[in-house]
Chain A
Amino acid sequence: MKDKKECPFTEEELQSAAAEVRVTMLGSMPRPSDCEREFSDEFCAKMDGIMKAERRKKRRELLLRSLAAVVCVALLLWLASRLGAA
């Protein structure tokens, strides 16, 4: 589908060209296994800290979401029991 303002390319052409660019970009790079490197101890220690912090953050978010769901269900059950009693 062409754009209203005489766009010289369609959505499909854009998708196909973007895919071509991605293939070329990744093809111009070494494979992950071919660019292994000895990282400094400082780098590895910082990365350990980053991974731990990010996991902790995710865990906290998940726990909060789970607790919110439990509270909602409890509230609904309580409301239902009140309505049933009335």
Chain B
Amino acid sequence: MLLTLHALEDVSDRARYQALYMRYRGLMFHVANGVLGNAHDAEEAVQEAFIEVFQNFDKISEIASPRTRSLVVLITERRAIDMLRAKMRRPTDELSEEPEGVEMPLPEGSLASAIARLPANYREALLLHYADGYSLKEVAELMGLTYDAARKLISRAREKLREILREEGDDL
């Protein structure tokens, strides 16, 4: 019976993996290409992002949902930025600027615009936790961190937000 259950689970899993892959691969490529500006590298980043998404498949309840869409975008953005950083370390490449993630047009001076201005890993942790409702443990698993590292990351992100808001307050 165990084997039958496994076989049934395998069929349903295969369909869900395939559905997620078919639905989001284009969007993930769009995100990765926006960061990397190179189709070949973007395809590689998409593959790495998919591995990470599949490893966290149990956290995805509904495939066609804003929560899942946000998750795949954030994971792809991070993988693409990691790849860009790795390239920047190579002396032969002519990249000089700090990598940036997805651009978000938000009104200046608001808390939301301050979040959008955060470094990508801080922003990802805050969005996963506060917008998508993932627990600290889940954020840690999704970002490949220990629980303590995820807690510190969110604490630093909040500190950075305070700094940004303070700077913006001084500028006004």
Contacts of B17 on A, CB cut-off 8 Å?
A: 51, 54-55
Please give the distance in Å from A80's CB to the nearest CB on chain B: 23
Q: Does B73 contact A (CB under 8 A)?
A: yes
Contact between chains at B104 and A21 (CB < 8 Å) = yes
A interface, over-half SS: helix
Contact between chains at A55 and B13 (CB < 8 Å) = yes
Q: Which of B24, B26, B115, B162 contacts A8 (CB 8 A)?
A: B162
Within 8 A of A (CB), among B40-77: 43, 46-47, 50-51, 54-55, 57, 66, 69-70, 73
Contacts of B162 on A, CB cut-off 8 Å?
A: 7-8
Q: How big is chain B's contact interface, by range?
A: 35 or more
Contact between chains at B106 and A35 (CB < 8 Å) = no
Indicate with 1 or 0, residue by residue over A6-38, a CB within 8 angstroms of chain B CB atoms.
Answer: 011100011101111110111011111001110
Contacts of A35 on B, CB cut-off 8 Å?
A: 26-27, 29-30
Interface residues of A (CB under 8 A from B): 3, 7-9, 13-15, 17-22, 24-26, 28-32, 35-37, 39-40, 43, 46-47, 50-51, 54-55, 58-59, 62-63, 66, 70
For the complex of A and B, the 7 pairs showing the least CB-CB separation, nearest first, are: A18-B130, A18-B131, A17-B111, A35-B26, A54-B54, A22-B131, A20-B112
